[in-house]
């Protein structure tokens, strides 16, 4: 028997077993679909949290307040030095005049503050910098860099206040949340993958048990271990592929149903996220289903048939 003929027979037998063992097939597909739905939910959670963390990252920054009489050349020079730091993602510079204008706009209904400002006869504000790092853990390094530029090269005061200490608690919490979510996601995926393999393993064992006489005959006539094991592996892979397809279909109404609630809670459109990453979801869910089904079937055949 050529390898091509044997392969065709293995796949044909796997398909026949899949349809013949309808109850076992339905049970296995149901179990794996539930597992893949959890996996898909974790992918959504990871995507939603990443977008939310990205949104929060944009709101967290370090503000540098220069003294009002700081030399503009020294301020511009420091601004360029900060922009060239590898850990800095964005630097926003506001001149003294811009700070004064923003203050007037924010307090346009506060006549008392505006009157007090007019009585000063001069601009009491200094220029400011808003610095956003690429990662929350990098803000401390930026703050340490700024500590070396409290005074300009001539020794005159340059920086009045750096508000890193005020934002440090938020920045540290954000960094811990990112690390925790990443570790939790991998742990949950691993946990449910193992659970799926164990449950599918026991479900597939029923199909193998019902075919025990057929397997005994095949072994008596000299069939190889690979030839006996092959149809069951194909059957398990079909469970996984079908479960992946069903999961992809189910995620459409689920994401539409939860769309508004998640958008209010996390400012993330999970349906748009699903559509934009549909190819990734397809590859991951169908691939994971096929792998889980194959591993479960392989273990069941190996343990309970001693093939």
Quick one: average pLDDT of 75-82?
89
Q: What are phi and psi of 23, to 5 degrees?
A: -65, -45
Model pLDDT, residue 248:
92
pLDDT of residue 279: 92
What pLDDT, on a 0 to 100 scale, did the predictor assign at position 249? 93
Check: CB of residue 143 under 8 Å from CB of residue 171: no
| Shared-domain flag, residues 40 and 181 | yes
Confidence check: pLDDT of 6 > 60: no
Q: State which of 3-12, 17-26, 89-98, 99-108 shows the largest mean pLDDT.
A: 89-98
Shared domain check, 253 and 109: no
Please list, in sequence order, all residues whose beta carbon lies within 8 angstroms of the beta carbon of residue 257, skipping any fewer than 6 positions away.
none
| 46 and 184 assigned to the same domain | yes
pTM for the model stands at 0.61
**Whether 229 contacts 307, CB under 8 Å:** yes
Q: What is the mean pLDDT of the chain?
A: 78
Does position 239 have pLDDT exceeding 80, yes or no?
yes
User: What is the rounded CA–CA span in Å between residue 302 and residue 205?
Assistant: 10
Highest mean pLDDT: which range of 15-19, 146-150, 188-192: 146-150
For residue 17, name the pLDDT band (cuts at 50, 70, 90): low
Whether residues 92 and 49 fall in one domain: no
What is the CATH classification number for the domain harbouring 100?
3.30.70.3040
Q: Is the pLDDT of residue 307 over 60?
A: no
Both 153 and 234 in one domain: the answer is no
* 142, 165, 188 - which closes a domain: 165
Tell me: do 143 and 89 sit in the same domain.
yes
Say what the pLDDT of residue 21 is. 66
Residue span of the structural domain in which 240 resides: 3-56+174-305
Last residue of a domain, one of 124, 146, 165: 165
Q: Does the pLDDT value for residue 59 go beyond 90?
A: no
Residues 234 and 92 in one domain: no
User: What is the average pLDDT across 29-37?
Assistant: 83
Q: Between these two residues, 23 and 70, which has the higher pLDDT value?
A: 70
Residues 6 or more apart from 282 whose CB is under 8 A from it? 244, 248
Task: Give the total number of structural domains in the chain.
Answer: 2
What pLDDT sits at residue 13? 64
Q: Is the pLDDT of residue 5 over 60?
A: no
Closest C-alpha among 29, 53, 13, 78 to residue 223:
13
Summarised one tens digit per residue, pLDDT across range 154-184 is 778 888 888 876 667 776 777 777 777 767 7
**Same domain flag for 178 and 44:** yes
158 and 17 within one domain = no
Measured torsion, CA atoms of residues 72, 75, 79, 81, in degrees rounded to the nearest 10: 120
Please check the confidence at residue 250 and state whether its pLDDT lies above 90.
Answer: yes
Over residues 144-148, mean pLDDT = 86
Residues 182 and 289 in one domain: yes
Q: Are residues 229 and 290 in the same domain?
A: yes
Among 117, 147, 165, residue at a domain's last position: 165
* Predicted pLDDT of residue 14: 55
Say if residue 272 is in the same domain as residue 190: yes
């Amino acid at each position: 028997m050529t390898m091509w003929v044997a392969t065709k027979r293995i796949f044909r037998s796997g398909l026949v077993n899949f349809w013949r063992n309808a109850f076992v097939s339905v049970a296995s597909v149901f179990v794996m679909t539930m597992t893949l739905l959890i996996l898909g939910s974790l992918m959504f959670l990871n995507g939603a949290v990443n977008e939310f963390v990205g949104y929060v990252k944009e709101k967290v920054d370090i503000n540098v307040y220069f003294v009002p009489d700081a030399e503009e050349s020294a301020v511009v020079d420091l601004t360029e030095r900060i922009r060239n730091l590898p850990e800095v993602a964005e630097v926003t510079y506001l001149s003294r005049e811009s700070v004064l204008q923003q203050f007037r706009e924010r307090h346009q209904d506060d006549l008392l503050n505006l009157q007090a400002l007019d009585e000063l006869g001069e601009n009491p504000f200094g220029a400011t910098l808003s610095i956003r790092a690429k990662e929350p853990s990098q803000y401390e390094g930026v703050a340490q860099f700024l500590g070396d530029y409290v005074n300009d090269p001539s020794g005159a005061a340059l920086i009045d206040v750096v508000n890193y200490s005020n934002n440090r608690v938020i920045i540290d919490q954000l960094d811990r949340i990112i690390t925790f979510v990443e570790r939790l996601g991998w742990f949950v995926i691993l946990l449910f993958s193992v659970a799926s393999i164990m449950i599918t393993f026991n479900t597939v064992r029923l199909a193998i048990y019902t075919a025990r006489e057929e397997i005994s005959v095949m072994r008596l006539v000299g069939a190889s271990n690979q030839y006996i094991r092959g149809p069951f592996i194909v059957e398990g892979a079909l469970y996984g592929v079908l479960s992946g397809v069903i999961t992809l279909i189910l995620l459409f109404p689920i994401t539409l149903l939860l769309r508004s609630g998640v958008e209010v809670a996390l400012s993330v459109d999970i349906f748009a996220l699903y559509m934009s990453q549909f190819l990734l979801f397809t590859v991951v869910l169908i691939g994971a289903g096929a792998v889980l089904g194959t591993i479960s079937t392989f273990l069941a055949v190996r343990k309970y048939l001693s093939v």
